[in-house]
Amino acid sequence: MPSVNELLEDILTATTSGGSSTGQGFIDYNDTSTTTTPLVLSADVWTTIPNDGLGAFSNDTYKPAGVTELMNVANGAIDPTELPLGDTMLIRNDFVITPGTNNTLLEFRYALGTGGGTYTLEKIIGRLDSGSGQPYRFSLATDLIYLGDLNTRDNP
């Protein structure tokens, strides 16, 4: 069972793919809320990963044109509301999990949409089978979310 979340860094990259934005850019949100008090994950329970955007490596120097934020740092939710329909977002999550049990299955999901239109995009990250009590860092994989409708874009 995963027990420690030592580092969380979301890089949200907005790119043009049919929308009306004129370029691309990124905002890097680095978390401090789990630095001294890591999250404890329970088996078979989805846990919202926080991100307060207050970390030393947060970087908003290269924002996409016309965008002020891509995340609501009050609740850690992705906030693509400033992007036009047809755009895509590349999201790179950076976190550490320390399982209490060897061979723990780690899954990740995005909850998007609102109300009755809420939906999830899930993926299996893998088995943590190199031993319990040791940290496993996940930082290089990216996920693509396209903004194909108002339900997805206006979800925060």
Per-residue model confidence as pLDDT tens for the chain (156 residues):
333 333 334 334 444 444 444 568 999 999 999 999 999 999 899 999 999 999 999 999 999 999 999 999 888 899 999 999 999 999 999 999 999 999 999 999 999 998 899 999 999 999 999 999 999 999 989 999 999 999 999 976
Strand bridging mode 25-30 / 2-15: antiparallel
* Residue whose C-alpha is closest to residue 117's, from 85, 74, 155: 155
Answer whether 0.85 is exceeded by the pTM: no
Phi-psi region of 66 (alpha: psi -120 to 50; beta: other; left: phi over 0): left
Indicate the burial class of 91 (C-beta count within 10 angstroms; 0-12, 13-18, 19 or more): middle
User: How many structural domains are present in the chain?
Assistant: 1
Q: How many residues would you count in the chain?
A: 156
Which residue, among 65, 91, 59, has the nearest Cα to 78 in the 3D structure? 91
Give me the domain span that covers residue 62: 2-153
